[in-house]
Amino acid sequence: MPRWCWLGSTLLLLACGSPAPPAYARETKQAEEARRRGQHLAAAEHYQRAASAAEKPRDAEEARYRAADSYARAGSPERAATIYRELAAQGPDAARRARADFALAELELDQGREREGHTLLAAAIRRHPSSGLAARALRTHLQYLRAQGGPDAVLDYLAVQRQSLHRSELAEALEYLRARELDDAGRSAEARDAYLACASRFPYPSGAYWDDALYRAAEKELALGAPQRALGHLQRLLSEQEAAAITGSYQRARYAEGQLLIARIYRDTLHDPERARAELRKVWLNHPTSRLVDDALFQEATLARQTGDEAGSCAPLQIIVRELKDSRYAPCAHLLCPRLVALPGRDCHDYIKREAGLP
């Protein structure tokens, strides 16, 4: 079965209140039953008959698409490929032509014809960059290019596609993946610039990679010895955080991580423990549903302890014990703050003790 293109097990037999022809409905039902029994050749033949009986072109095409998928499952890739080629050339709308194009490429890959499959995949990406299937296909194709020729092969391909597809819906993915490739190749300054260019060209709120690009740009700045520039990118990231009536509805994945990284820069790079503690507390205050909250609060507590501030150490630990009872840090809280009672039946893990400098 094509990994990208199977859209569900139930065909829509009715369209806008108009009943499907009885023969179409009957053959489709029999095809679905055969498919569930694993009788894929029989399913394909039923789908073919359903296509012949359909009155609407879209119904006929859907049945033929499923016939091709069933032929592929039945071990008849040539028959599947013939149908996919016809659908890709003659389908009534772009989305369905794209689906057939990508399915044909996937069929070749499933048959072990890697070079032929990726030739078709690259062509499908070029023809259908706005398809919902294109981004995943792009990542698959980049993996192939990387295996064949390393990062340079990937970057050469992306350079060409960025020129030809810069106005398509795939443009942002091309920009972001170029930055990631530069990053993985160890070209930190170029990667930073590429991340920032991606974030600027595709900003919040529409940019899908906007927050990740800024976060990774900040990481590159740290690697390049520019912590203040890193802070600037992270503050730019957090400046767009919006309040929401429904918790998390406007949250980006990198918000809490960005706040935690700010704190760590002040703690580890700028050696400003007081500012670091204040920034750690903001993870709880501004991102209370994040999985990083207990980490930040415990780091705040250990940092306060290191500076001899017992009261400052107890405050974040009280939040953990009160609000985050299931945290792995909750059984350790009393070890840093004697005013807190040990939780019954739960022991502090040794690795946490070591990290906190506890005996």
Contact 198, 213 (CB under 8 A): yes
Residue 340: inside a domain: no
Most confident listed range (78-92, 231-245, 247-261, 271-285): 271-285
* Predicted local distance difference test score (pLDDT) of residue 90: 77
Domains identified in the chain, total number: 1
Residue 225: inside a domain: no
Residue 257: inside a domain: no
Question: Of 137, 97, 134, which is closest to residue 117 (Cα–Cα)?
Answer: 137
Predicted confidence band at 93 (pLDDT cuts at 50, 70, 90)? low
Contact 329, 320 (CB under 8 A): yes
DSSP 276-338: HHHHHHHHHHH-TTSTTHHHHHHHHHHHHHHTT-HHHHHHHHHHHHHH-TTSTTGGGHHHH-T
Check whether 234 has a pLDDT greater than 60. Answer: yes
* Predicted local distance difference test score (pLDDT) of residue 17: 52
Contact 72, 43 (CB under 8 A): no
pTM of the model: 0.85
Distance of CA 324 to the CA centre of its chain: 28
Distance of CA 116 to the CA centre of its chain: 27
* Mean pLDDT, rounded, for 207-218: 97
* Mean pLDDT value across the chain: 91
Predicted confidence band at 250 (pLDDT cuts at 50, 70, 90)? low
* Predicted local distance difference test score (pLDDT) of residue 13: 40
Residue 189: inside a domain: no
* Mean pLDDT, rounded, for 78-103: 86
Residue 6's domain spans which residues? 1-112
Check whether 7 has a pLDDT greater than 60. Answer: no
Between 358 and 91, residue with greater pLDDT: 358
Residue 245: inside a domain: no
